[in-house]
Structure 1
């Protein structure tokens, strides 16, 4: 069977009301400013940046991530307010927590050792966030976007109890599988 490389990444993807609220912010930005690039993925907090993987070995990838998640303890995560990286990314703030930083750091190490994935700069300088606009932001209109977004309210908390493996399908990121923390 020929090797077929596909793009994947690992993230926290809140479900239910939080997903709906974050998606609504993205929709509002699309309606008002035609910013739609962030709509190509569900609202998420990236843990491991996109990487190429042989689709024929996808089951092995899920198995390896499941092995990593065995025994992880659920923890609470707070999402509050809007922030930005320069004039190129607008995001929902993720309150930095020891549990989240430890999870990301251990996952980066695991991916490097067990999956032979490169440890990237973003793995070492982790800044958790939930992007609502990027890539199609025009710097000359940034203040207009920012004025619009910072009037919105976002203050949520959720229990992190699973990882999500996302896969790029027809130009959009879809959750391929959720991998629960095994309390066994």
Structure 2
């Protein structure tokens, strides 16, 4: 059977999405760096595969139920940081409520016995929205200096849990679930 690849994220919308799209496009044209294939987001569950679409149906039901019984919570997208010299991202500072909701959702996801977890997914979560990755290391300083000419500051919400699927060499929104309020 064919394996299907998915990732679970919170999609970033509104002015923050527009800022992210413009910034990643400018980085691409100025530095010859391909933008990531995911839309603006923060990751909830790293990419995983399944050949059983019943598993995805179960996942959809779990997310739908979770979103119906939980509320959106605040996050602040503010400034930049990086992981080593290979990933540059916008900081996401979640409210206490957003962290609680995230952890509660992870506990629910762990009930899906078929879902595989990587060892680094159990470390403390660094909420972030990537703007540049998988570039040649010598480009890091130029990109870093460039992004720091900007001061993003967006008040947003952790208001959705979305499943993206890998299709035709890029990620597409498979299903988006909105929180109750």
Cα displacement (A) at 1:55: 5.7
Distance 1:69 1:54, change over 3 A: farther
1:45 corresponds to which residue? 42
Aligned partner of residue 66 in structure 2, secondary structure? helix
Whole-Å separation in 1 of the counterparts to 2:138 and 2:131: 18
* Distance across 2 between alignment mates of 1:116 and 1:14: 28
Shift of 1:175: 1.4
- Confirm or deny: 8 A CA contact 1:162 1:179 kept in the other structure: yes
Partner of 1:116: 114
**Alpha-carbon distance change, 99 to 118 in structure 1, aligned in 2, over 3 angstroms:** farther
Where in structure 2 are the equivalents of 1:135-154 lying within 5 Å?
A: 135=134, 137-154=135-152
User: Mind listing any 5+ residue stretches in structure 1 that lack a counterpart?
Assistant: none
How well do the aligned residues superpose, as a CA RMSD in angstroms?
A: 1.8
TM-score, length basis structure 1: 0.88
How far is 1:14 from its partner?
1.8
Aligned to 2:13: 15
Separation in 1 of the partners of 2:126 and 2:94?
8
Partner of 2:32: 34
Per the alignment, do residues 43 and 97 of structure 1 end up closer, same or farther by CA in structure 2, a change over 3 Å counting?
A: same
Give the corresponding residue for 2:131.
Answer: 132
Extract structure 1 runs of 4+ deviating beyond 3 A: none
How far residue 123 of structure 1 moved from its aligned partner, in angstroms, is: 3.5
Question: When the two structures are aligned, how many residues end up with a matched partner?
Answer: 179
Q: How do 1:161-180 and structure 2 match up within 5 A?
A: 161-180=159-178
Structure 1 residue matching 2:162: 3-state secondary structure: strand
Q: Do the aligned partners of 2:6 and 2:163 also contact (CA within 8 Å) in 1?
A: yes
How far does the alpha carbon of each residue in 1:64-120 deviate from its partner, in whole angstroms, 9 at most, with x for none?
A: 221222311111110011111110100001014322322232222222213532343
CA distance in 2, matches of 1:156, 1:144: 24
Choose which of 98, 101, 105 in structure 2 pairs with 1:100. 98
